[in-house]
Amino acid sequence: MAEATVPEAFAADTQSQQLSSTQRTEALSAAAAGAYDGTDGSDTENAAAFLKERFEVELEFVQCLANPWYVNIIAQQGYFDKPEFINYLKYLMYWRRPEYARFVVYPHALAFLDLLQNKSFRDEIKKIDEATRLTVLQQNHWRWPNYREEGDAAENEHTEAPLPR
Query: pTM score, two decimals?
Result: 0.63
Which residues, including other chains, have CB under 8 Å from residue 148's CB and lie 6 or more apart?
Answer: 155, 156, 159, 163
Which segments within 9-74 are labelled E, that is strand? none
pLDDT value at residue 33: 47
The lowest-confidence range among 44-53, 93-102, 106-115 is: 44-53
Q: Taking a C-beta distance cutoff of 8 angstroms, is the pair 77, 8 a contact? A: no
- Amino acid letter, residue 93: M
| Burial of 54: CB neighbours in 10 Å, binned 0-12, 13-18, 19+ | middle
Measured CA to CA, the distance from residue 85 to residue 10 in angstroms comes to 8
pLDDT, one tens digit per residue, over 17-44 is 344 444 544 555 555 445 444 445 567 7
Measured CA to CA, the distance from residue 134 to residue 80 in angstroms comes to 18
Position 47 pLDDT exceeds 50? yes
Position 5 pLDDT exceeds 80? no
Measured CA to CA, the distance from residue 22 to residue 157 in angstroms comes to 56
CB atoms closer than 10 angstroms to residue 15: 7
Which residues, including other chains, have CB under 8 Å from residue 145's CB and lie 6 or more apart?
Answer: 161
